Structure 1
Amino acid sequence: MMSNSLDYWPEPIVRVRSLSESGITRIPSRYVKPLPDRPTSFSGFDTKSNIPVIDLGGESGGWSEAILGRINEACRDWGFFQVVNHGVDPGIMREMREKWREFFHLPEELKAEYSNNPCTYEGYGSRLGVEKGAVLDWSDYYFLHYLPPFSRDPMKWPSQPSLCRELIAEYSVQVVGLCCELMKVLSINLGLPEDYIQEAFGGGDMGACLRANFYPKCPQPDLTLGLSSHSDPGGLTILLPDENVPGLQVRKGDRWITVKPIPDAFIVNIGDQMQVLSNARYKSVEHRVIVNSGKERVSLAYFFNPRGDILIKPAEELVTEDQPALYLPMTFNEYRLYIRRKGPCGKSQVEALKSPRR
């Protein structure tokens, strides 16, 4: 039975890092995935099927037609791509990842001060969704808001490790700048004015939030997932992966491709709201995270989303008699309510938006 309230979790919260370090040799049943959802064994990288890697040339904007074309192709064919020479300081990227690793290794009583609830997710958490008895993922996380500015509460940002708040602020400025440039590229590639997507998402009031992910060692990684299969509900995601421990898997047809991280690269992917706005020219893609028996893993996902109260629908310029609107309008607040209740559920939510005519 699903809880009717988003003010509390339906069951006592268990921190996955604590489970991992308790010495257990078998994971609790609440983390065991149904057989079809369990990860397949991993025996290396399929370099022929890896997501595209795009060199942005170290320039901010003014990218060549060749770069625009590669981004367009990646968005249409994969929904995922990696970017290198993207303009964000690699030193800050590495420091951010290690600061968050330090945070997750702090004593539980210090982290507990930042415990979250399902209403906003903001703070320290260990589950998604409020469905009682749901099978859980093998991960802890920290979620915080950055945009719009009025949603930002630096006091909810962790004060430890030292200088963590200052680093979050500097990293956020740089990653937001990269995202704004990428959204211009996507607008141009769709044949729209370069500021179209950002304005459709709320302009200066569009949303941006960070989720720091911690995937502890798992004694039975073949039975569970760090994050269940899902497509991101928002507009665009910029992920800083763990360079040393692969974990992200992207669905390509009937296969799961394990992404090989490139040093100092970001992984970019299309979210559901971009699929809706582009009238499915660009598609969000299912992805998931596998865990490891010998190594922990840290990643940082920045989500760029529409302002919560704006109706998102296919751009009128992309709707024709031959290509009618595929999706019904919905605000992002309404859309993510489903996610907060149910947790990750493949692509079921965006598919439910499809117009009855289709």
Structure 2
Amino acid sequence: MSCLESWPEPVVRVQHLLDSGIKEIPERYVKKPCDRPSLITESATSEMNIPVIDLQDLFSDDDLLRQTTVSLVDSACREWGFFQVVNHGVHHQLMAAIREAWREFFHLPLEEKQKYANSPSTYEGYGSRLGVEKGVPLDWSDYFFLHYLPISLRDEKKWPKLPVSCRELVGKYSKEVVELGGKLMKIFSTNLGLKENYLQEAFGGNENIGACLRVNYYPKCPQPGLTLGISPHSDPGGITLLFPDENVSGLQVHHKNNWVTVKPLPNAFIVNLGDQLQVVSNANYRSVEHRVVVNAEKERVSLAYFYNPRGDIPIKPAEELITEDNPPLYPCMTFNEYRLYIRTRGPRGKAQVESLKSPH
């Protein structure tokens, strides 16, 4: 881990760059022509959107209604790896309050935010880059990363003290979103033909899962066609529950060789599968490459909750899914070992999980 003790060069806050009055983005943020957002592709897929699933029937006394919802989740996982959920059980007022609290944090003076400046050893705190390779292209975003579970990693003193409501809101929001993640994990387990609690236990159990929040701040960009808010990647963990900025679209999902711009619904979560779920399911469920585009007129704030395995637990394909015709595709490793890749190199599409596949 010694290579992750410090950043390889001075960290520049993207928001500070914008506030300096620049009209052109620095070269470090300019993507190769083949990696830049394509207006043609966006237009061609403008009528598409990821599936939207109403979860209220999960709590119905009607077995048919419940099973229909479970089947819709399974179809979305296999076809897209992404879907939106409504009537999910997280209080809408809480969602609105925490997003505005974080928006207020990112508009605090730079010296206040710098008190929480992070390092690549844990990524916890206020950050502006992923990966420690020197001289690599950078993304047009700042963020704040914090741990909620396991409790041994939770340190509320590292959470923002300002605005004054932030720490309390993070605690309440985290509790409700983690409960939603647990419900989805049970559905995924059942749909994969596993025991209802299989995935939860494989990830460490209720108190030992790795639950962490990354709040993404995408400042306005003077040249949005040249850069990205986050480069293409698949999430390294289990599942992600994203509360997007419903006023400004930015997330794009790679689907059937097109980049589909997700249209966020009010008070909905965008759920996507991560690499660890692909490993445990032996690729019956797959993580999906996605990226974020930026905007010249509006800033964006989104909250990504990562529901991950505990870092030191070995993760491998479920034995129940292994047969002579379907051998294990991935080696056993811990999540700490796995995510070292992205923490070193930054976002690299699906290169990491695909590189692990065995010859068969």
AA in 2 matched with 1:299 = S
1:59/1:86 contact within 8 Å kept:
no
Shift of 1:353: 1.1
| Residue 121, structure 1, aligned to residue 120, structure 2 | no
* 1:84-116 Cα shifts (integer Å, max 9, x gaps): 000100110111111110000000000000000
Shift of 1:60: 5.4
- 2:105 is matched with which residue? 103
- 1:246 is matched with which residue? 249
| Residue 208, structure 1, aligned to residue 211, structure 2 | yes
What secondary structure sits across from 1:238 in the alignment?
Answer: strand
- 1:9 is matched with which residue? 7
Distance 1:155 1:36 in 2: 43
Where does 1:272-283 land on structure 2 (aligned, <5 Å)?
272-283=275-286
Give 2:325's match in structure 1, choosing from 294, 315, 322: 322
- 1:258 is matched with which residue? 261
Shift of 1:321: 1.0
Distance 1:170 1:320 in 2: 43
Q: Hey, which of these two has a bigger chunk of helix by percent?
A: 2
* 1:157-183 Cα shifts (integer Å, max 9, x gaps): 001011110000000010000000000
Shift of 1:59: 5.3
Distance 1:202 1:61 in 2: 29
* 1:136-163 Cα shifts (integer Å, max 9, x gaps): 0000000000000111000000010111
Paired positions, count: 355
Distance 1:39 1:304 in 2: 29
5+ residue gaps, structure 2, are: none
CA 1:164 to 1:41, structure 2 compared with 1: closer, same or farther past 3 Å?
A: same
2:45/2:258 contact within 8 Å kept:
no
- 1:49 is matched with which residue? 48
Bigger drift between 61-70 and 220-229 goes to 61-70
| Residue 220, structure 1, aligned to residue 223, structure 2 | yes
AA in 2 matched with 1:33 = K
Give 1:23's match in structure 2, choosing from 12, 21, 24: 21
Bigger drift between 143-152 and 55-64 goes to 55-64
Shift of 1:253: 1.9
Distance 1:111 1:48 in 2: 39
Shift of 1:37: 0.8
Distance 1:338 1:47 in 2: 34
Give 2:138's match in structure 1, choosing from 103, 122, 136: 136
What secondary structure sits across from 1:205 in the alignment?
Answer: coil
Where does 1:144-293 land on structure 2 (aligned, <5 Å)?
144-203=146-205, 204-293=207-296
AA in 2 matched with 1:207 = G
Give 1:332's match in structure 2, choosing from 329, 332, 335: 335
Distance 2:356 2:96 in 1: 38
* 1:245-292 Cα shifts (integer Å, max 9, x gaps): 000000002100000000000000000000000011100000000000
Distance 1:75 1:299 in 2: 22
5+ residue gaps, structure 1, are: none
Distance 2:153 2:60 in 1: 28
Shift of 1:311: 1.3
What secondary structure sits across from 1:218 in the alignment?
Answer: coil
CA 1:99 to 1:68, structure 2 compared with 1: closer, same or farther past 3 Å?
A: same
CA 1:343 to 1:122, structure 2 compared with 1: closer, same or farther past 3 Å?
A: same
Shift of 1:354: 0.6
Identity of paired residues, percent?
A: 64
What secondary structure sits across from 1:213 in the alignment?
Answer: strand
* 1:209-251 Cα shifts (integer Å, max 9, x gaps): 0000000000000000000000000001000000000000000
AA in 1 matched with 2:52 = V
Distance 2:184 2:59 in 1: 10
1:45/1:260 contact within 8 Å kept:
no
2:46/2:261 contact within 8 Å kept:
no
Distance 2:44 2:100 in 1: 25
1:242/1:261 contact within 8 Å kept:
yes
| Residue 311, structure 1, aligned to residue 314, structure 2 | yes
Shift of 1:338: 0.7
AA in 1 matched with 2:162 = Q
